[in-house]
Structure 1
């Protein structure tokens, strides 16, 4: 599992890590099919606006947002989640909804539908207490003497936390609006769950009962039981408990 969000210093407030490993995301597809609004790809402000326009023009308007996303820009995730919540849409996940998609879009819906292998995966949020640096920053640190390396790492991580603080406050207000506990995005980073990590795990998820403890209710599984698994990938998510 990747227990820390990997945020660049410049974009700490804006971007959540997409499911690793990933290539550059292709353009997000937004379309209506079989009466459902489909959102396939990274969460972006542009894709959101296209989705909103399609919805407003459709007759009748879709009742379901079917989404497949590895995540994307934090602000876009919150924007889409607010809209889903306001419209009262059902969110349907047949393959995966990861990172910002899981943080903000999935829990915003009053009703959710998932396939029996769908992955709704988490690996951190804006209220996380620690962050990984990006590859460029790590490469730069490796060029420094050991004595300077950790001091600069600590300064960079502190700068990321300070940069993220304003949106962390916005995130808290968002979760209060949708009635979900903000810790849904950070519980898997607890040391208590570290022993469950493996080289193949990239995040965590919850059982239906534990989702409900966090405020995420009314999840219907198509052909239960629900056993999250990525298709054509050896990556996994661990299922953690909620006290």
Structure 2
């Protein structure tokens, strides 16, 4: 049987569509803080760690502007942020794996009054995942038997990622459904009602209910808005537990 898997295509399954391009991530030090601009990936993570280690005076803030990235790279970055007790600052947007894993890892979270913290799902919801264009081309070229094997391997990756995600959120003290809540059918009225909806976000109070506290807003109130009218993140309510 042919080698069915293309690792790049698989990794893209767990990234938002806007992160699937070839944007280069920039990592640098400016105005006393670390800057991470672009998709989250392991190469950029290593650049960030090397930069931090090279600085005599260690910065206390990671400022990030990211559409997301592969889930393990996101959790690796979030784990590093928490281990080094960094604050996370978002002036524009932090989406997908950035919202799932990096934002809640900050000791303090600083946001502009329009910053978008946007969610669209996690690795544990296989039935909600869709193939990106590259993976779809691979899938369509396979026989029926090979397609089953292809999806079985994706299911394995999803299951493994879901287990790690659950452990990760437990370590942070964050509710395990923060990355998948909007995929529940009871939220269809909010998410699917808007044809441009790419995902969802939460209010300040609901972030706290989910375990993401210590959020400070620059010039409040916080009124998140999308950078593009064609990609909207709707605010969904969180049930008390």
Q: Tell me the TM-score normalized by structure 2.
A: 0.85
1:216 is aligned to 2:230: no
Aligned position for 1:194: 188
- CA distance 1:213–1:9, change in 2 (3 Å): farther
Structure 1 residue runs without a partner (length 5+): 1-7
Count of residues paired in the alignment:
232
Aligned position for 1:3: none
* In structure 2, distance between residues paired with 1:179 and 1:191: 25
Aligned position for 1:171: 165
* Preserved contact between residue 18 and residue 98 of structure 1 (Cα < 8 Å): no
Quote the offset at 1:140 in angstroms: 7.7
Quote the offset at 1:122 in angstroms: 0.6
- CA distance 1:224–1:166, change in 2 (3 Å): same
* In structure 1, distance between residues paired with 2:137 and 2:45: 34
Alignment of 1:1-243 (within 5 A): 10=7, 14-15=11-12, 17-21=14-18, 24-130=21-127, 131-135=129-133, 138=136, 157=151, 159-196=153-190, 197=192, 198-243=194-239
SS class of match (1:49): helix
Quote the offset at 1:133 in angstroms: 2.3
* Preserved contact between residue 204 and residue 240 of structure 1 (Cα < 8 Å): yes
- CA distance 1:143–1:54, change in 2 (3 Å): closer
Between the two structures, name the one with larger relative contact order (CA 8 Å, sep ≥ 6). 1
Structure 2 residue runs without a partner (length 5+): none
> What value does the CA root-mean-square deviation take over the aligned residues?
2.7
* In structure 2, distance between residues paired with 1:52 and 1:140: 35
